[in-house]
Chain A
Amino acid sequence: MKEPQIIVCAKQIPDPEAPFSNVTVNVEKKQVAVDAPDVISPYDENALEAAIRIKEELGGKITILSMGRKVSDTVLRKTIAAGADALVLLEDPLFEGLDSGSTAHVLSCAIKKIGDWDLVLTGRQAGDWDSGQVGLIMGEMLDVPCVSLARSIKIDDGKLLVEKSVPVGYEMVEASLPALVTVSNEVGELRYVARSKMLGLLRRPMSIPKWNSKDLGCDIDRLKKLQLTELVPPADMGRQCTLIEGAAQDQACRLAEVLSELR
């Protein structure tokens, strides 16, 4: 068969591991501000890792598709350093704050514009809103077989074989290509990119196509923003922490007492 053409949809979000003290909820403006660097949503990184493994076995091409009001190509270049081949950025003020269905619509338009593809991979959910909808809806819109929660993905003799995480273990499923798969973290984390490779890549000029809603021929009436009626901070989760001090031995002794009391 021909070498697989894989598209990975990757969202850029503020570092979800940032401590909660870095998150400010603006009740009036109904906005969340996160004082943290942007990263690729972790499950999307897993999706890229899955794609790279397929490419290592079968060759082919990996295109990263990322959408937003303003996408940082520095963050996305990391995907190239890891093993992706091309980037396409979807930028338009209209793309800001869209609901899941509209996001899936824009991404589907871009995938159709790319045209030649066998497999679309994306994270099971994004690390900011954790909705877990866009991938599955894209499957519907592209009208292709759709598998969620993949823990391993293989292409064998032109067929897609996926180990899908299910509550009792995993299910081995099969589908024809083209197809869409949402990826879970059991796939494994995105390989680490050595700084030398990263440096080489950052210096290399790269042409990154940017497509807006006109380029994509999106149905603008189809683009709906999320309608927030209220945004509030969560209830305080803090507890009074008793610190157990001293040398490791003393700490262990005191902790043993504490644990005995907790029986």
Chain B
Amino acid sequence: MLRYILVRLLWLPLILLVILGITTWLMRIAPGSPFAAEKSIDPQIMQQIERKWGTNKTGWQWFGSYLAGIARGDLGPSFKVQGRTVNDLLGSALPVSLTLGLLALFLALLVGVPAGFLAGLRQNSIWDYGSMAIALVGISLPAFVIGAFLIVWLVFHWDVLPVGGWGTIDKLLMPAVTLSAPFAAVIARLARAGVLEVVHEDYIRTAKAKGLPKGEIVLKHLVRGAILPVVSYLAPAAAAILTGSFVVEKLFRIPGMGMHFVNSALNRDYSLVLGVVIVYATLLVLFNLVVDVAYGFLDPRVRLGK
């Protein structure tokens, strides 16, 4: 088990290296430059700028010196927000996105899992159709629609919540709900599918045959199997939700990672792009590992490291 985890962790640097290499290549072939401005810059001045920031090097040289920086724990300077290092920017944005993301993930599970279970256990009932209809809406409506509706109602109509920003708990509610909606919907559908799959398994029938009370069957036997699809979905979901959403952060003006994701690419802010890629890729790999380990506990058919 420990060995399994260790081996998976050892893969992480290699995975990151490949992802960073591909990202660097994509950035270099994209048109534009981190220093392009609306007014044209004298070619001589442009050369000076590129030398100052080291972007005059070939892609390979630049990548090499970037990796050397990472080895020292230095993600480099941001080209666009001058004076800030990528470490600074991520250091202030990541906690914001983590907080919001954890709350949203929590909400998504709190709503999605019970709704899915209810739908699955009462298949083809009004509960099933009702919760699946809501889930369909949650998946189909993009965040900027849900968020805008929340703002119109809760802020402008009923005047119960602040319009956006960061710093107090009440400012967190609308973005967290908006962020969680599509995830809650997917979780509900997965949980329902999980229940439907497990409900006809032999071991559930055996439990029924033994005359166990229904509540005990559900909690002891059914949940463990039915939750598996949700658990495997949680890895990519958590990585995505914890690194923030551009739309939600823009709409509610939250200084999180999502903004950096999109803006750094639009600005061709090379080191910031790589910085967010590192964070996202690392989280993704780690959560996948956590899920695989959790499988070992939840699913008796899976045993790791044997």
Q: Do A and B come from one complex?
A: no
